[in-house]
Amino acid sequence: MKRLLLAVLFGFSLSACAQPAATPQKVTPATDAATPKEPSFAAGTPEARVREALARINPKIKVESISPAPIPGFREVIATGQVVYVSDDGKYLFQGGLLDIEKRKDMGEVAMAKVRKQVLATLPESDRIVFAPAGVTKHTVVVLTDVECGYCRKFHSDIAQYNKLGIRVEYLAFPRAGLASPDYQKMVAVWCAPDRKKALTDAKSDRPVAQGQCANTPVDREYRAGLRMGLEGTPMILSTDGQQLGGYMPPDALLQRLDALDKEKSAG
């Protein structure tokens, strides 16, 4: 089920979630690009009125950006990895698919793709665990993964087939149970291992990975990046330009989706 920002705003819970409840988070400095500072808005502007309206609902909500919406009289708000639309006078809010009928596009997803592309640019390749084709690379995907989730394991069990089809896979860490969980500790061990690829495969196969610590582990940064990119469950498969391709997809289906995406781009 799609995680709703309204649940954060109004304080109610959802009955289903692709992500388990996180354990209490340890307090760590969040100064990386995955946690940007909230912008300020000039008094009297629509942006300021929208921000004030959201603050009245819940002062803890973190807003990343407020900009003109594709529809007159509304602002597009990106917060907590999601998109909502608020009227310029701050009286009305709605969340859901805003479809451009002519272009056949979900405008909220277009906005989030831009955010994801920006976030991905802050996460260096050296911090990712990369499985690349032996031959020509036709496509590259970024996959936010967890070592415990069943579909993440299923995806990884076919990693050789993805590579055989020319798909390069770049893994980012997202411990679903949170930054103070045993799951997190396992992922730190993987990302600190001398051979990350072997360690990731071992962890997803319930084989032990030696517990170690390393300076500046990327797991924390990548976890916060996943939240900012609107992760709803793992695995989360992204194109390099930030488009969400879905959760688990079999190798042939992912190749077809990527080929179709290339055709869409070529057609403009």
Query: In this structure, are residues 193 and 187 in contact, taking their beta carbons and an 8 Å threshold?
Result: no
Catalytic residues: 146, 149, 152, 176
> CB atoms < 10 A from the CB of 126, how many?
7
Q: Which tokens belong to 230?
A: 């609107």
CA dihedral 242, 246, 252, 257 (to 10 degrees): -50
Q: Which residue from 37, 7, 6 is spatially nearest to 21, judged by alpha carbons?
A: 7
Side chain identity at residue 259, one-letter code = D
C-alpha dist (Å) from residue 108 to 81, 82, 126: 11, 8, 31
C-alpha dist (Å) from residue 33 to 58, 59, 124, 191, 224: 24, 22, 12, 19, 9
CA dihedral 38, 42, 45, 47 (to 10 degrees): 0
In Å, how far from its chain's centre is CA 252?
A: 23
In Å, how far from its chain's centre is CA 231?
A: 4
Cα–Cα distance between 8 and 17 in angstroms, integer? 14
